[in-house]
């Protein structure tokens, strides 16, 4: 459904699989049946006999009860070996043993498909690698069109095509001895199975491409070892104000679209599009500074239809700004993840936000904070000592088993970015976590790679 004006649009995400997730909790050990029945089955006899039987029964009940409690504790201990369920007020009993997880990024090739694309930084030529062969080959101009360019740009995590043209091979030198890639006559929208090897290009021309620029930042000085971010370091970071209060973070992906978490905008906050203001190009949010920056009004809020507030599944939303942002050294878009790439556990990424700096904090810092956090594989994060199966394919974990560094309240909706081939990609959206920076409870992020189709669809439609 879709409304106009001061309202929102709720659009179903056709790509996502509906996956109502229920974590499997340990079945509580109930009291053995039959205890009551045995007591009831006693025949009426003498007082002494009755007393003895009653005593025996009480003993038996006590024994069985004790056994049951013992078993229950054992089951609990085995299922959650390092997680104290009641951390409040029990500081001294809090477990300090960490999950013994290891992440090995060296052995895995993150590429999943069979056709890979790159754009040469020197001459902007589109190059294709077929089936993990070691050679990258340029693409013949024959049968090329701009919609193919858009698909290639999106495959690479850029929102759109900005320029494309055929370049004469004679203009770019003689080093094309390995061959070319030619588009087959069959036009497929998924970009697989539509390329073939050729010895030469009939027209003598190859494709040069330029995609929407993103994920770069101006070369700026940074605080060594510091945690306060400097202006321009995370130019895609925005602060989302709801009713004049910082409520969530967000990430710029185009001049008019911001990605955030669905839980930031759902329910009571949803219909009041006019209560939201987006602040870009800032690191300090003090009111004086805020006054100088005119916030951006929101025109539309689209949250993912599969968002589930219990499981936090599909926790992603898009905000459309009423007027486009002016990109500068301090305001700019982040790239999206590439299609068909898996992010291996152990990859170093970064989070930024104005969220609480103490787990029990009550207000957000004035200056944007940043911290490096490694990706934790879903396999490890779903283990019984971490989130015990609560992590769906639409989530990602990042952080440390020992805790200490994490996102927290107020960081939600903000970016988890990883640098890849010199561009920064929005890999995750701050979504949830048990407490903040607790051992064995890393931050959980929306897995943006799972929503690429949805993001492109929404941006194209609205
Ligand atoms: N849900 C929180 C928010 O609305 C963010 C939670 C992130 N928690 C964490 N431990 N990483 O701001």
pLDDT, tens digit, 9 for 90 and up, residues 378-407: 999 999 999 999 999 999 999 999 998 999
Q: What pLDDT score was predicted for residue 272? A: 83
Minimum mean pLDDT range among 7-11, 312-316, 330-334 = 7-11
Structure tokens at 271: 């219909």
Residue to mutate, 352, 409, 413, 434, ligand 1, most ligand atoms under 8 Å from C-beta: 409
Residue to mutate, 87, 436, 437, ligand 1, most ligand atoms under 8 Å from C-beta: 436
Nearest ligand 1 atom to the CA of 435 is 10
* 37 pLDDT above the threshold of 80: no
Q: What pLDDT score was predicted for residue 225? A: 35
| 250 burial via Cβ count (<10 Å: 0-12, 13-18, 19+) | buried
Tell me which of 26 and 410 has the higher pLDDT: 410
* DSSP structural state of residue 302: E
CB 392 within 8 A of CB 311: yes
Q: Mapping DSSP to helix (H, G, I), strand (E, B) and coil, where does residue 338 land? A: coil
Q: How far apart are CA 182 and CA 152, in angstroms?
A: 15
Q: What pLDDT score was predicted for residue 215? A: 97
Identify the band that residue 221 occupies on the pLDDT scale cut at 50, 70 and 90. Answer: low
- Separation of CA 73 and ligand 1 centre (Å): 30
User: Does residue 315 carry a catalytic annotation?
Assistant: yes
Is domain 115-211 classified as CATH 3.40.50.10800? no
Residue among 392, 402, 395 nearest 101 (CA): 402
CB 376 within 8 A of CB 398: yes
Residue among 349, 314, 347 nearest 447 (CA): 314
Nearest CA to ligand 1 atom 11: 443
**DSSP letters spanning 246-268:** EEEEEEEEETTEEEE-HHHHSGG
Identify the band that residue 26 occupies on the pLDDT scale cut at 50, 70 and 90. Answer: very low
Catalytic residue among 158, 164, 246, 263: 263
Nearest CA to ligand 1 atom 2: 409
Catalytic residue among 158, 266, 315, 352: 315
- Separation of CA 287 and ligand 1 centre (Å): 24
Minimum mean pLDDT range among 45-49, 94-98, 205-209 = 45-49
Pocket, ligand 1, Cβ cutoff 6 A: 355, 406-412, 430, 432-433, 436, 443
* 113 pLDDT above the threshold of 90: no
Residue among 180, 225, 185, 186 nearest 204 (CA): 180
Identify the band that residue 96 occupies on the pLDDT scale cut at 50, 70 and 90. Answer: low
Q: How far from 153 is each of 6, 119, 159, 162, 338, CA to CA, in Å?
A: 33, 9, 7, 9, 9
Tell me which of 268 and 448 has the higher pLDDT: 448
Structure tokens at 180: 């070319």
- Separation of CA 281 and ligand 1 centre (Å): 23
Identify the band that residue 84 occupies on the pLDDT scale cut at 50, 70 and 90. Answer: very low
**DSSP letters spanning 377-418:** -HHHHTSTTTTTT---TTEEEES-TT-SS---TT-TT-EEEE
* 457 pLDDT above the threshold of 50: yes
Write phi, then psi, for 264 (nearest 5 degrees).
Answer: -75, -30
Identify the band that residue 185 occupies on the pLDDT scale cut at 50, 70 and 90. Answer: confident
All structural domains of the chain with their residue ranges:
115-211, 227-461
* 79 pLDDT above the threshold of 80: no
Q: What pLDDT score was predicted for residue 219? A: 72
* 42 pLDDT above the threshold of 80: no
pLDDT tens sequence across 361-383: 766 788 999 999 999 999 999 99
Catalytic residue among 412, 420, 431, 441: 412
CB 242 within 8 A of CB 297: no
User: Does residue 263 carry a catalytic annotation?
Assistant: yes
Is domain 227-461 classified as CATH 3.40.50.620? no
Average pLDDT, the chain: 79
Nearest ligand 1 atom to the CA of 399 is 11
Q: How far from 267 is each of 8, 13, 313, 445, CA to CA, in Å?
A: 11, 18, 16, 20
Identify the band that residue 242 occupies on the pLDDT scale cut at 50, 70 and 90. Answer: very high
- Separation of CA 428 and ligand 1 centre (Å): 13
Place of tokens 């056994």: 67
Identify the band that residue 75 occupies on the pLDDT scale cut at 50, 70 and 90. Answer: very low
Place of tokens 């669905």: 262
| 23 Rama class: left (phi>0) / alpha (psi -120 to 50) / beta | beta
Nearest ligand 1 atom to the CA of 248 is 12
User: Does residue 293 carry a catalytic annotation?
Assistant: no
3-state helix, strand, coil in the chain (%, to 5): 20, 30, 55
pLDDT tens sequence across 285-295: 886 677 777 79
Among 7-11, 79-83, 185-189, 347-351, the range of highest mean pLDDT: 347-351
- Separation of CA 431 and ligand 1 centre (Å): 6
Q: How far apart are CA 431 and CA 263, in angstroms?
A: 8
* 32 pLDDT above the threshold of 80: no
Residue among 188, 107, 200 nearest 155 (CA): 188
Planar angle of CA 396, 86, 264, nearest 5 degrees: 40
| Mean pLDDT, residues 93-110 | 68
Q: What pLDDT score was predicted for residue 309? A: 93
Report pTM: 0.78
Q: What pLDDT score was predicted for residue 66? A: 54
CB 215 within 8 A of CB 335: yes
């Amino acid at each position: 459904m879709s409304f106009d004006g001061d309202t929102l649009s709720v659009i179903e995400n056709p790509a996502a699989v509906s996956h109502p997730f229920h974590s499997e909790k340990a079945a509580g050990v109930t009291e053995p049946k039959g205890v009551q029945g045995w007591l009831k089955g006693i025949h009426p006899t003498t007082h002494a006999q009755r007393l003895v039987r009653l005593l025996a029964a009480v003993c038996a009940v006590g024994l069985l009860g004790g056994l049951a409690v013992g078993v229950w504790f054992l089951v609990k201990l085995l299922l959650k070996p390092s997680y104290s369920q009641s951390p409040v007020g029990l500081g001294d009993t809090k477990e300090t043993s960490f999950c013994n997880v290891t992440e090995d990024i060296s052995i895995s090739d993150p590429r999943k498909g069979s056709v890979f694309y790159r754009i040469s930084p020197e001459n902007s030529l589109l190059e294709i690698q077929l089936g993990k062969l070691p050679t990258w080959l340029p693409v013949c101009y024959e049968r090329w069109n701009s919609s193919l360019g858009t698909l290639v740009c999106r495959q690479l995590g850029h929102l759109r095509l900005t320029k494309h043209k055929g370049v004469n091979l004679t203009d770019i030198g003689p080093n094309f001895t390995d061959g070319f890639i030619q588009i087959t006559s069959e036009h497929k929208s998924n970009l697989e199975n539509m390329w073939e090897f050729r010895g030469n290009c009939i027209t003598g021309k190859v494709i040069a491409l330029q995609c929407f620029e993103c994920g770069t930042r101006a070369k700026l000085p940074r605080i060594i070892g510091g945690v306060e971010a400097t202006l321009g370091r995370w130019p895609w970071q925005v602060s989302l104000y709801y009713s004049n209060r910082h409520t969530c973070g967000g990430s710029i992906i185009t001049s008019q679209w911001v990605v955030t978490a669905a839980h930031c905008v759902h329910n009571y906050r949803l219909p009041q599009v006019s209560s939201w203001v987006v602040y870009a190009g800032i690191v300090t949010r003090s009111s004086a500074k805020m006054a100088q920056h005119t916030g951006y009004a929101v025109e539309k809020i689209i949250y993912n239809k599969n968002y589930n507030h219990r499981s936090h599944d599909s926790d992603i939303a898009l905000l459309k700004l009423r007027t486009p942002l002016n990109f500068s050294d301090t305001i700019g878009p982040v790239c999206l993840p590439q299609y068909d790439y898996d992010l291996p556990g152990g990859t170093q990424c970064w989070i930024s936000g104005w969220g609480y700096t103490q787990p029990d904090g009550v207000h957000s810092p004035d200056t944007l904070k940043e911290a490096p956090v490694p990706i934790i594989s879903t396999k490890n994060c779903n283990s019984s000592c971490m989130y015990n199966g609560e992590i769906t394919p639409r989530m990602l974990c990042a952080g440390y088993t020992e805790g200490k560094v994490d996102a927290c309240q107020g960081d939600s909706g903000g970016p988890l970015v990883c640098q890849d081939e010199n561009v920064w990609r929005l890999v995750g959206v701050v979504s949830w976590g048990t407490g903040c920076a607790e051992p064995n409870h890393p931050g959980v992020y929306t897995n943006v790679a799972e929503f690429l189709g949805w993001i492109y669809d929404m941006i194209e439609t609205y």
